[in-house]
Structure 1
Amino acid sequence: MKLEIISFGQISEFIANQQIEYPGMENTDQLQQYLETSFPQLTGMKYKLAVNQNIIQANQLLTENDKVAIMPPFSGG
C-alpha cells in the first residue's frame, strides 16, 4: 500500500514529508506500529493522526494513496 505522510511541528524534525510503500498495511493501528518502529522518537510522544484531512479518534481502514498527517498536540482558539 502506498501512503503519503505529512508531518507537522517537532515531528517534522525527524519525519520528513514522504511517500511510503508498505505491503499488507490495512489500518491506522498498523501504521502507528510501523511509524514508532521506524522513528523511535514517536514512542511515548503524544500525537494525532489525520487521514485525508480528518482527525481520527480510533483505528481506521486505510486505502491506497491516502494522505496521513502526523500532528503533535496543539491548542488555540
Structure 2
Amino acid sequence: MIVCHCASITDREIHAAIDWMRAADPDTIVTPGKVYRALGKRPDCGGCLPNFLDTMELNDSLAVPRVLRNLRNRKKDVAR
C-alpha cells in the first residue's frame, strides 16, 4: 500500500527501512526523517505523516532500545 504519494513510498519500504536501520545499529532511534533518508527520498507536503507514523508503529523493531530507556531517571540517580 502506498503511504506517501509524493515520494511513492509503500508500507513495505517503510518496514524494510526500519528493519535495515535496526540491524545496522541496534541502538538507533528510528524517526520518520531517518526512514525517508534511508530510502533516498524527501518528504514533500507532509500530508502522509499520520499514515506514515501509523505504519512505523506497526513495526516490532521500532521500540526505543533498552539501553536508551529512562535516561532522565538514570541521570537524576547519578546526580544524587
- TM-score w.r.t. the length of structure 1 is 0.36
* Structure holding more strand per residue: 1
Structure-2-length-normalised TM-score: 0.35
Higher helix share: 2
Larger relative contact order (CA 8 Å, sep ≥ 6) = 1
